[in-house]
């Protein structure tokens, strides 16, 4: 049984074929929320590091272990540093952003020239990669070292890069080495919202998926309750 929420009313339809790219963007980032943030570290062909945050990011598969990031290049399709570096080296590392890293992440979003070390400007510590040549960020609660799996060209200036996760680093005390269960509250990760908004994950609840038998039992109980109150 699905309940109608108080205040739930009619919906406004937006036909994306009639909207500008900017308006589509505003609707997408305002409705697909919260989005996890990939704080991506790469190196160029000369070994110089780069760091930049991306909120078009998610985990798409566990077998194989695949993550995806959406990278917007310049309008003339000249690659920004992250896209260029992944093309040159085939590698990148996704660092998860916790609440303590928010300001440093924001510093790395500043459009510095390509020869500027964003990690140094943000006061973050680069740790030599294990499976890849690019560094991970020591302050991050978790990092995923990836090899480029495939790149999809989307539209005039955007690419979707799929990465095969080769290894994962999780801060001690967050993941159980035996069960591999992660304490998500200790991760203290942040998510991206629309505009300049961000969210925290500290307000959580558990909701186990029901079996058919459990759902039927619940329906019978609710039917009996309705019969008693009628």
**For residue 85, what pLDDT band results from cuts at 50, 70 and 90?**
very high
**For residue 218, what pLDDT band results from cuts at 50, 70 and 90?**
very high
Q: What is the pLDDT of residue 7?
A: 63
The chain-wide mean pLDDT, for the chain, equals: 93
**For residue 9, what pLDDT band results from cuts at 50, 70 and 90?**
confident
Domains in the chain (CATH in brackets) are 22-27+34-229 (2.30.110.10)
pLDDT tens digits for range 101-135: 999 999 999 999 888 999 999 999 999 999 999 99
Q: What is the pLDDT of residue 77?
A: 59
How far is the C-alpha of 139 from the C-alpha of 99, rounded, in Å? 11
Closest alpha carbon to 92 in 111, 68, 124: 68
Q: What is the pLDDT of residue 1?
A: 35
Q: What is the pLDDT of residue 52?
A: 96
Q: What is the pLDDT of residue 166?
A: 99
Closest alpha carbon to 93 in 142, 47, 36: 142
Between 74 and 34, residue with greater pLDDT:
34
Q: How far is CA 40 from CA 86, 116, 119, in A?
A: 10, 16, 11
pLDDT tens digits for range 126-137: 999 999 999 999
Helix, strand, or coil (residue 217): helix
- Which residues have C-beta within 8 Å of that of residue 130, sequence separation ≥ 6? 145, 167, 169
Q: What is the pLDDT of residue 226?
A: 83
Rounded mean pLDDT, 7-31: 93
Between vectors from CA 60 to CA 100 and to CA 138, what angle results, nearest 5°? 30
- Which residues have C-beta within 8 Å of that of residue 97, sequence separation ≥ 6? 37, 39, 53, 105, 140, 189, 190
């Amino acid at each position: 049984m699905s309940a109608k929420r108080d205040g739930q009313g009619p919906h406004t339809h937006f036909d994306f074929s009639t909207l500008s790219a900017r308006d589509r963007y505003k609707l997408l980032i305002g409705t697909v929320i919260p989005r996890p943030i990939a704080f991506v570290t790469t190196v160029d062909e000369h070994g110089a590091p780069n760091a930049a945050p991306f909120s078009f990011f998610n985990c798409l598969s566990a077998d194989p272990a695949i993550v995806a990031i959406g990278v917007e290049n310049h309008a003339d399709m000249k690659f920004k540093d992250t896209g260029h570096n992944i093309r040159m080296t085939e590698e990148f590392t996704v660092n998860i952003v916790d609440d303590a890293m928010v300001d440093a992440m924001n510093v790395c979003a500043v459009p510095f020239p390509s020869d500027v070390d964003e990690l140094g400007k943000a006061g973050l510590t680069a740790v030599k990669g294990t499976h890849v040549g690019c560094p991970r960020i020591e302050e991050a609660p978790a990092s995923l070292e990836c090899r480029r799996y495939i790149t999809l060209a989307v539209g005039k200036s955007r690419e979707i890069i799929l990465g095969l996760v080769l290894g994962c680093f999780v801060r001690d005390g967050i993941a159980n080495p035996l069960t591999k269960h992660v304490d998500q509250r200790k991760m203290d990760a942040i998510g991206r919202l629309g505009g300049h908004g961000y969210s925290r994950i500290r307000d959580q609840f558990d909701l186990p998926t029901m079996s058919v038998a459990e759902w039927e039992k619940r329906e019978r109980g609710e039917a009996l309750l309705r019969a008693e109150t009628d």
